[in-house]
Amino acid sequence: MWAVALASNGEAAAPAGLGGIFGALMPLMLIFVIFYFLLILPQRKKQKAHTE
């Protein structure tokens, strides 16, 4: 591990900024939206029909 640290040129990577954060969270948000439409929404409809 020290060899890798010593072999680097000492320059830190530039921060990704807001675009990097948005790009990292976009797949997570997409998975949540798909999860909502495929699982949560039908379950709520079924529960509503059951209570009526």
Cα–Cα distance measured from residue 20 to residue 6, given in angstroms and rounded to the nearest whole number: 27
pTM: 0.53
Q: Where are the domains of the chain?
A: 26-52
pLDDT tens digit at each of 52 positions of the chain: 555 555 555 555 555 566 788 888 999 999 999 999 999 999 999 999 988 8
Picking from 12, 8, 37, the residue whose alpha carbon sits closest to that of residue 29 is 37
Tell me the residue type at 50: H
Which helix (H) or strand (E) segment is 33 a member of?
helix 17-35
